[in-house]
Structure 1
Amino acid sequence: MAKRPHMDCYAVGDHAEFAKTVTDYDVYAFAGIVGDFYGVHVNEEYAKTTRFERRIAQGALSVGFLATVMGYMAAKAPNPGAVSYRYDITFNAPVYLGDTVTARLELAEKDEDRNTCVFNATVTNQKGGVVASGRTYLKVL
């Protein structure tokens, strides 16, 4: 199939990232939005009894940070644009309150026939530890 001009705005190796220090507010606000009030996220005394020994952020919050970066990538496409449609993410380590995480996407491959960009996705903490990793997919419209 012929190369589609709207895929020209993406090149393998393109990357973007977003960094943020995770706060108590982030965890409670996210819990309020999605309803994830599990004790390990919002109850310090409960969290002390877990293997984490203190509160951790919801894993889906890290996916949300990747979604922020997907928005940056989608914005590169000309009208009518692009949308994220798939996240294959593994949670590798906990994110503790006070951690500064960096969500990063790097374009690994372009599927011209399906108008799809496939990104390697990582979320790392301030120590360089990978807390989440996998792939995300962007459909160019």
Structure 2
Amino acid sequence: MNLVIAEMFTGQIARLQRIFTESDVRLCNELTKDFSPVYQPNEDGWKKYYEKPIVPGLLTEGLITQVISEKLPGGACILLQKELVFYHPVHVGDEITAELEIIDINLARNWVTQKVTCYNQTGNEVVKGQVVILVLSNHS
């Protein structure tokens, strides 16, 4: 999309969906060096807590930042602040929708505040919060 701040408005919404795979989890584990047993499909450590292995929170956060970088605003911007609560685990094979809604625009600072809601294929909220971004491309 690549919107400039003047083209954005309060109430504007963008969303993306993604299904997370075991391969996604392995790549995330390798990059972060986080090999917690709750993420490993071939270990039994997760069985004490969940019905199946969970997806690292960073992957769900990545879907949120993908909405920012591809859709709203879709241009050059920097994440300044994030406040997220993880309500329910995301499992491999879950289809997650990340929805961002603009709730405030500070033109003087080029800051945009967005409400974040992520939910799974059954409609359960898995992540909720907000982000503040600095929009760098402020001219058409």
TM-score tier by shorter-chain length is 0.7 to 0.9
The counterpart of 1:22, out of the listed 20, 23, 39, is 20
Pairwise mapping of residues 30-109 of structure 1 onto structure 2 (< 5 A)? 30-42=28-40, 43-49=42-48, 51-72=49-70, 73-76=72-75, 81-109=76-104
Stretches of 4+ moved more than 4 A in 1?
none
- SS of aligned partner of 1:88: strand
Cα 1:18–1:44 change in 2 (3 A) is farther
1:3 equivalent in structure 2: none
Instruction: Identify the range of structure 1 (123-132 vs 109-118) with the bigger mean alpha-carbon deviation.
Output: 109-118
CA RMSD of aligned residues (A): 1.5
CA–CA separation in structure 2 for the residues paired with 1:55 and 1:139 = 35
CA–CA separation in structure 2 for the residues paired with 1:82 and 1:74 = 8
Structure 2 runs not aligned, ≥5 long: none
1:137 aligns with 2:136: no
Q: Which amino acid aligns with 2:120?
A: N
CA–CA separation in structure 2 for the residues paired with 1:17 and 1:129 = 16
The counterpart of 1:12, out of the listed 10, 13, 18, is 10
Verify the 8 A CA contact 2:67 2:74 in the aligned structure 1.
Answer: no
Alignment: residue pair count: 131
The answer to which structure has the higher helix fraction is 1
CA–CA separation in structure 2 for the residues paired with 1:20 and 1:115 = 29
TM (normalized to structure 2)?
Answer: 0.86
Verify the 8 A CA contact 1:7 1:140 in the aligned structure 2.
Answer: yes
Deviation at 1:112, TM superposition (A): 2.0
CA–CA separation in structure 1 for the residues paired with 2:124 and 2:63 = 16
The counterpart of 2:113, out of the listed 87, 108, 118, is 118
Deviations, residues 2-48 of structure 1 (Å, cap 9, x unaligned):
xxxx5212111112111111111111111111111110001541111
Structure 1 runs not aligned, ≥5 long: 1-5
What is the percentage of aligned positions where both structures have the same residue? Answer: 27
